[in-house]
Amino acid sequence: MNSARHAALLATLQNAPVKAQPEKWGLQASDIYGENVFGLAAMRKHLPHAVYQELERTINQRQRLNPQIADVVANAMKDWAIERGATHYTHWFQPMTGLTAEKHDAFLSPTQNGQVISEFSGKMLITGEPDASSFPSGGLRSTFEARGYTAWDPTVPAFIIKQPFGATLHIPTFFYSYSGEALDRKIPLQRSIDALSTQALRILRLFGNLEATSVQAMVGPEQEYFLVDKNLALLREDLMLCGRTLQGAQVPKGQEMADHYFGSIPERVLSFMQDLEQELLALGIPAKTRHNEVAPGQFELAPVFEDANTACDHNMLIMNLMRHIAPRHGFICLLHEKPFAGVNGSGKHNNWSMCDSTGQNLLNPGQTPQDNAQFLVFLAAVLRAVHKHSQVLRLGTIGAGNDHRLGANEAPPAILSVYLGEQLTNVIEQIMHHGHGVSQDKPKMEIGVSTLPPLPLDLSDRNRTSPFAFTGNKFEFRAVGSSQSIAPVNIALNAAVACALDDIATELETKISQGIHLNQALQELLPRLFQEHQNIIFNGNGYTEEWKKEAEQRGLPNYNNTVDALLHYTDQNVQEVFLRHKVLNQKEMLSRQEILLENYANTICIEAKVFLDMLRTKILPAAQKAEYQAAKTLFYVQQVTSDGSACEQETFKVLKHEISALVAATHILEENVAKTKSAQTSKEQAILSRDLILPAMQTCRKYADKLETLLDDNLWQLPKYKELLWIH
Ligand code: ADP
Ligand code: MG
């Protein structure tokens, strides 16, 4: 055994699927579903009926929480949690780090007479004051009031996370500053959900629907991830600290054979999946599908869709649990968008639709002409939202990690367009022609009279190159990164669609107040809307260069990196979307821009420093050992033969050349990090990270990857791509 790498490789021979604990064997989903959740069923059982009814109204009808009932709810929640082994509770929140945060408090409080009692009041349930002053606030908190506050979100259930030594009650909360500004992503998400509901209801009322009381954004996120053997991953500080490899020569066998995609799932991976799914089910998270993804070592989990707020919390939990459970099975779970160069990265398809309180999916083309007309209005609203506000949607997908993916011919381009499929595009053309009265060849589509042709429920997502595809009764937004919270993208979608619905509702309401019939108003409005926004529809191949050119001609923006997109955060057209329905105020927007720029620069600076460390302490020393060996070989060959030593000279020369080039590149990287760090503002740091550090890292990588392919395998310390990607 020559190196730690070889020892780690040997250790993987011991890998075996972890056996389920006996008490978990053969459990039915129905036995465990929701057992760790204080949801409606548990509430009904543990709360007095009147209190339950009040709380149920808050949850289902979004009525204000009555603070009078908080003590009773807190007490019941505490008893329920303690019965299940909980010793602590925490206000669980989602600060702008993009992760979740928790600070645990014990239920126990000492009494005067030296005893302890368990304590959890309504006040403790409703608000918290974690001293969370170190979270990014983008200038929203001044030092004299640095605290953040948490407030219970009763609309998603509290839950317990069990560990071998106990359990902790988690209470989902909003996180805000002393002056009431949002410090998290849940507050703007909730505001965007409310805005969408209000505007969508206006449309439903116009269609005579008096029954629905609210409209929910429904979301089903498909989560991609990589599993890498833990023994091997631990030897790579880039994987441990950055979640992606900063160096790694291409493998002789990647995803070319498509033999991993949908292949039979390796046993050890399947054990991980089963373990994960059991925990998810216990938390009331409906994990539904699992399969091997395109890249070797890549997998996917998709839950059944839920309302956007719950789906967002659940997706955060899914990511947390994936990270926690993988090591039990000898894996590290990588959620990064691009852990390995040369094979596909990971995304998160955000399936989105709107559903009213009676269960009607508003993106479902209906059976009757009147249903069809309503569907077409909601469709037009989405087209308008994506077309007018594509920058806002793009902002929901930014991140240093996702920059490696978008537009790299494995994920949709950074240009937003909508795929509607042939049938629906045809319908829209018929409607547009009707408006102009130029329909010679195509049949006319009369709103409220004609019926739509049956549309296929496109479950196979035929056009994978589109960032935003209509798939039968929902839109699938495919540009989201695998590690990202789905809150930003859904905030953007809800807010942008709310603006479009608002415009449409205002126009229709005005017409109707003038005595014009709804169908007539639609017959005038829809052709105009489709004409105005037809440029956003693109059913072709989004990966091609021609599309980039055409998109430019169509005036569709292409911000192909985070910094470009972020600098547009304060554009008039972006601000309007957030301000109109008070999803974010001006201060909150500026603070978010600041935080995101800072986060981008920090991410890249950390990667550079990790890489410099690997280069100096692992890669260059190994290369220099090889150079020394080559020099020695050359020297002895020259001693013992007069037949020449061209071969040995060549080996030595090549090594020496690559090493010199790498040393020079390392110096440049070091200088560029220093230059970036000394910049005064986050904006400058972000720009320099992109323009100086990233290219310098790329150059270092080129030489380091080359050296990996030249060196004696015994000298190479870092686990190689073939080992990281193929050992499961
Ligand atoms: P595919 O894998 O082909 O993209 P699936 O049918 O597996 O399609 O759906 C993927 C995700 O879309 C799942 O999470 C599913 O629950 C969700 N989904 C299905 N219908 C809707 C809907 N009406 N609104 C939101 N999400 C939905
Ligand atoms: Mg999909």
Is the confidence at residue 597, as pLDDT, over 50? Answer: yes
Number of the ligand closest to the Cα of 472? 1
The backbone region for 258, taken as left when phi is positive above 0, alpha when psi lies in -120 to 50, beta otherwise, is left
Distance separating alpha carbons of residues 296 and 227, to the nearest angstrom: 9
Cα separation values, 102 from 152, 486, 572, 601, 664, Å: 13, 19, 36, 26, 45
Encode pLDDT of 601-641 as tens digits.
999 999 999 999 999 999 999 999 999 999 999 999 999 98
More confident call, 492 vs 437:
492
Q: Which protein residue's CA is at the shortest distance from atom 8 of ligand 1?
A: 459
Please give the share of the chain, as a percent, with pLDDT higher than 90: 77
- Residue in the block written with tokens 């309503």: 374
Q: Which residues pair with 354 in a beta bridge?
A: 217
Q: With a threshold of 0.85, does the pTM exceed it?
A: yes
Cβ atoms of 337 and 401 within 8 Å: the answer is yes
- CA–centroid distance, 101 to ligand 2, in Å, is 29
Number of the ligand closest to the Cα of 315? 1
Query: Would you say the CB of residue 347 lies under 6 angstroms from ligand 1?
Result: no
Number of the ligand closest to the Cα of 477? 2
With cut-offs at 50, 70 and 90, classify the pLDDT of residue 31: confident
Is the confidence at residue 460, as pLDDT, over 80? Answer: no
Query: Would you say the CB of residue 1 lies under 6 angstroms from ligand 1?
Result: no
Encode pLDDT of 633-675 as tens digits.
999 999 998 888 999 999 999 999 999 999 999 999 999 999 9
More confident call, 265 vs 435:
265
The backbone region for 472, taken as left when phi is positive above 0, alpha when psi lies in -120 to 50, beta otherwise, is left
What is the second-level CATH architecture of the domain 598-726?
Answer: Up-down Bundle (1.20)
Query: Would you say the CB of residue 465 lies under 6 angstroms from ligand 1?
Result: no
Number of the ligand closest to the Cα of 348? 2
Encode pLDDT of 133-156 as tens digits.
788 888 776 655 667 899 999 999
Ligand 1 atom with the shortest distance to the CA of 461: 3
Number of the ligand closest to the Cα of 307? 1
Average pLDDT over residues 589-593: 94
* Lowest-confidence segment of 57-71, 284-298, 707-721 by average pLDDT: 57-71
CATH number of 33-184: 3.10.20.70
State residue 437's pLDDT score.
47
With cut-offs at 50, 70 and 90, classify the pLDDT of residue 260: confident
**DSSP classification of residue 691:** I
Which of 138, 136, 149 lies closest to 187 in space, CA to CA? 149
Which of 122, 184, 114 lies closest to 149 in space, CA to CA? 184
Helices (H), 127-285: 186-206, 230-233, 237-242, 267-282
Query: Would you say the CB of residue 318 lies under 6 angstroms from ligand 1?
Result: no
* Lowest-confidence segment of 52-61, 90-99, 291-300, 316-325 by average pLDDT: 52-61
Encode pLDDT of 177-186 as tens digits.
988 899 999 9
Query: Would you say the CB of residue 353 lies under 6 angstroms from ligand 1?
Result: yes
Number of the ligand closest to the Cα of 222? 1
- CA–centroid distance, 229 to ligand 1, in Å, is 30
Q: Which protein residue's CA is at the shortest distance from atom 1 of ligand 1?
A: 459
Q: Which residues pair with 201 in a beta bridge?
A: none
State residue 483's pLDDT score.
98
Mean pLDDT of the chain: 92
Q: Which protein residue's CA is at the shortest distance from atom 5 of ligand 1?
A: 459
Cβ atoms of 96 and 184 within 8 Å: the answer is yes
Count other C-beta atoms under 10 Å from residue 424's C-beta.
22
Query: Would you say the CB of residue 474 lies under 6 angstroms from ligand 1?
Result: yes
Which residues, including other chains, have CB under 8 Å from residue 466's CB and lie 6 or more apart? 412, 417, 418, 419, 478, 538, 539, 542
**DSSP classification of residue 179:** T
Please give the share of the chain, as a percent, with pLDDT higher than 70: 95
Distance separating alpha carbons of residues 292 and 300, to the nearest angstrom: 6
The pairing of beta strand 166-177 with beta strand 108-110: unpaired
**Most ligand 1 atoms within 8 A of CB, residue of 474, 476, 497 to mutate:** 474
Encode pLDDT of 121-131 as tens digits.
999 999 998 77
Distance separating alpha carbons of residues 228 and 327, to the nearest angstrom: 10
State residue 626's pLDDT score.
98
- CA–centroid distance, 469 to ligand 2, in Å, is 10
Cβ atoms of 238 and 244 within 8 Å: the answer is yes
- CA–centroid distance, 472 to ligand 1, in Å, is 10
- CA–centroid distance, 496 to ligand 1, in Å, is 21
Cβ-in-10-Å burial (0-12, 13-18, 19+) of 140 comes to buried
Ligand 1 atom with the shortest distance to the CA of 303: 14
State residue 456's pLDDT score.
63
Encode pLDDT of 388-430 as tens digits.
999 999 999 999 999 999 877 788 888 999 999 888 898 899 8
Query: Would you say the CB of residue 354 lies under 6 angstroms from ligand 1?
Result: no
Ligand 1 atom with the shortest distance to the CA of 473: 23
With cut-offs at 50, 70 and 90, classify the pLDDT of residue 439: very low
Helices (H), 483-534: 487-513, 518-533
Q: Which protein residue's CA is at the shortest distance from atom 11 of ligand 1?
A: 220
Is the confidence at residue 434, as pLDDT, over 70? Answer: no
For residue 630, give the 3-state DSSP assignment.
Answer: helix
Which of 63, 329, 91, 354 lies closest to 217 in space, CA to CA? 354
CATH number of 1-23+223-346: 3.30.590.10
Query: Would you say the CB of residue 473 lies under 6 angstroms from ligand 1?
Result: yes
**Most ligand 1 atoms within 8 A of CB, residue of 222, 262, 351 to mutate:** 351
Distance separating alpha carbons of residues 686 and 270, to the nearest angstrom: 40
Give the domain ranges of the chain.
1-23+223-346, 33-184, 192-220+347-559, 598-726
Query: Would you say the CB of residue 216 lies under 6 angstroms from ligand 1?
Result: no
**Most ligand 1 atoms within 8 A of CB, residue of 305, 360, 362, 497 to mutate:** 305
